[in-house]
Amino acid sequence: MTDQDPSLSRVLQSWRHDPRAAPRFNAGVWARIEAARTAPWSSAAIIARWCGVPAQHFRWALPLGASLVLLLAATVGAGAGYLQTVRGRNDRMAAAYVQAIDPVQMTAGHHH
Amino acid sequence: MHRLARFALLVVVVAACAYGVTSYYTGRRSEDQWTWLRLEFHLNTAQLTRIHALHAAFQPVCADHCNRVAAAQLRLTALEQAGGKSSPEYAATAVEWDAIKRECNAATLRHLQAVAQVMDPDQARRYLAMMVPRIARSDHQGPRGVR
**Burial (Cβ within 10 Å: 0-12, 13-18, ≥19) of residue B126:** middle
Rounded to the nearest angstrom, the minimum Cα separation between B121 and chain A is 19
pLDDT at B103: 86
Return the number of CB contacts < 8 Å for A and B. 116
Most confident region among A41-50, B30-39, B80-89, B126-135 by mean pLDDT: B126-135
Q: Do A85 and B31 touch (CB under 8 A)?
A: no
Q: What is the rounded radius of gyration, in angstroms, for the C-alpha atoms of chain A? A: 38
Do A64 and A106 lie in a common domain? yes
Q: Does any domain span residue A3?
A: no
Q: Does any domain span residue A71?
A: yes
Do A112 and A64 lie in a common domain? yes
Do A38 and A50 lie in a common domain? yes
pLDDT at A57: 66
Average pLDDT over residues B44-61: 91
Domain of A84, in residue numbers:
60-112
Q: Please state which of the four CATH numbers 3.40.50.300, 2.60.40.10, 1.20.120.1490, 3.90.1150.10 is assigned to the domain occupying B33-139.
A: 1.20.120.1490
Q: Do A106 and B62 touch (CB under 8 A)?
A: yes
Distance of alpha carbon A57 from the chain centroid: 17
Q: Does any domain span residue A14?
A: no
Average pLDDT over residues B110-135: 92
Q: Where residue B16 falls among pLDDT bands split at 50, 70, 90? A: very high
Q: Do B14 and A77 touch (CB under 8 A)?
A: yes
pLDDT at A52: 73
pLDDT at B128: 93
Angstrom distance (rounded) from CA A9 to CA A13: 6
Q: Does any domain span residue A12?
A: no
B130 touches chain A (CB under 8 A): yes
Do A51 and A69 lie in a common domain? no
Percent of chain B at pLDDT exceeding 70 = 91
Mutation target to probe the A interface, by most A beta carbons within 10 A, among B3, B26, B98, B146 is B26
DSSP character at residue A102: -
Do A74 and A29 lie in a common domain? no
pLDDT at A38: 59
Do A80 and A110 lie in a common domain? yes
What interface predicted TM-score (ipTM) does this complex get?
Answer: 0.72
In tens digits, chain A (112 residues) has pLDDT values of 556 788 888 888 888 888 887 888 888 888 887 776 656 556 666 666 677 766 666 667 777 888 999 999 999 999 999 999 988 888 888 888 888 888 777 776 544 3
